[in-house]
């Protein structure tokens, strides 16, 4: 999961950096507004990807607690639970 998220973020960053670098090689003095808008959109994509990575990290912090939770069947063994409740 971490590798997939890293690959996604890395791909977005490389894609965002590729277009401005190519334009700098060809036209160093002129700034095209369409290319500038594209670069801004790519930066926004990178920011969204970084927010997704932060959310995934927060989810990973939460999940160890959820793995240690006890089911209701273990808490109240004397209670007559239906067979499907303790799966």
For 39-68, how does the pLDDT look when each residue is reduced to its tens digit (9 = 90+)?
889 999 999 999 999 988 887 777 565 656
Phi and psi of 21, rounded to 5°?
Answer: -65, -45
CB 19 within 8 A of CB 38: yes
CB 1 within 8 A of CB 52: no
Of all helices (H) and strands (E), which one includes residue 52?
A: helix 33-67
- pLDDT tens digits, one per residue of 12-30: 777 776 666 555 555 555 6
Rg (CA), the chain: 24
Stated pTM of the model:
0.39
Locate the domains of the chain by residue range.
2-75
Phi and psi of 30, rounded to 5°?
Answer: -90, 140
């Amino acid at each position: 999961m971490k590798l997939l998220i890293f690959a996604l973020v890395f791909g977005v960053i490389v894609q965002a950096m590729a277009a401005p670098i190519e334009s700098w090689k060809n036209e160093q003095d002129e700034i095209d507004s369409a290319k500038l808008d594209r670069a801004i959109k790519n930066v926004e994509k990178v920011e969204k990807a970084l927010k997704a990575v932060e959310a995934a990290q927060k989810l990973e912090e939460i999940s160890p607690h959820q793995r240690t939770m006890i089911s209701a069947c273990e808490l109240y063994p004397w209670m007559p639970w239906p067979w499907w409740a303790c799966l």
